[in-house]
Amino acid sequence: MNFFKAWEGYEADKKIEGFSKQTLKAYQLQTNLLARHFGDVEISSVTTEDLKGYLAELSNTLQPSSLAHRIRSMKSLFRWAHEEGHIPKNPAYKIKEPKIGKRIPKFLTEREIELLREACITPMENALFEFMFSTGCRIGEIVSLEKNCINWSNHSAIVRGKGDKEREVYFNTRCDIWLKRYVESRQDKDPAIFVTERFPHKMSIAQMRYVIKRISNRAGINKEIHPHQLRHSYATHMLNNGAPLEVIQSLLGHEKSETTRIYAQLSGRLRKEFYQKYF
């Protein structure tokens, strides 16, 4: 079984397991890079030493986080091939990911949030910005959201997150107003909650990123703004206002509490309050 044949079987099984389209797309890219490096050979002919040599070359050009991503996708593919009986031994079994220092997520200040808010000039821009910030959703969750997933009376929406898991998220009154204005201003029949401005159809992730970049350019903020910063800012805002980490974890759709705990490092104001209270 060569790399491309292995990928076909792997992809089919992982779709059944509920892997997201984004994860599979990223893993397919890594498999293509493996096949390009080794040639479309029988995967049973690839040894642990071959894989270590491949990774050693990459370590000179890739950041540890990028290298770790390649190793995860590689280990997942070879583990599947071994478990399915396509190879007698898993050559990636003992390969370890590089140690990565914890990065503190970049977030926006309250002033920057207000500048971005003021820079929105259309109902769509206002609705998209407010929805991103007030729900803390991942951009992929918003892209796939449809109008029938919105519960207007409850100010909530059902989104499909990582692992194809559904969760309920909530939005505030400001978001409710702009979202209704935006939806009511549209003449199209597309079910997506956010559509392109010309020839309306569901926005892609790239198009949604472009809208946020366009808003940030108008706001005159001297740093690069991307949608995930709004998610980080949402979590930080919740934490600063006293929300327990377990609640934030649930709202963000994090499987592991460790993923959410990193936000505690951001909350300088909250730490100072605890210090003043207990010292």
Counting DSSP H helices and E strands in the chain, the numbers are 13, 3
Strand, coil or helix: 42? strand
pLDDT tens for each residue of 123-160? 999 999 999 999 999 899 999 999 999 999 999 999 88
Is the domain spanning 3-84 CATH 1.10.3470? The answer is no
Q: Domain residue spans in the chain? A: 3-84, 110-278
pLDDT of residue 279: 47
Pairing of strands 166-170, 150-151: unpaired
Do 34 and 72 form a contact (C-beta atoms < 8 A)? no
Identity (one letter) of the amino acid at 64? P
Q: Which fold has domain 110-278?
A: hpI Integrase; Chain A (1.10.443)
Residue that the structure tokens 């559904």 belong to? 166
- Give first-to-last CA distance, the chain, whole Å: 65
Q: How far apart are CA 138 and CA 55, in angstroms?
A: 30
Cβ within 8 Å of residue 95, ≥6 positions away:
48, 51, 52, 55, 71, 74, 75
Q: Report pLDDT for 99.
A: 78
Sign of CA dihedral 222, 226, 230, 232: negative
pLDDT at residue 216, rounded to an integer: 92
This prediction has a pTM of: 0.66
Instruction: State which residues of the chain have pLDDT below 50.
Output: 279
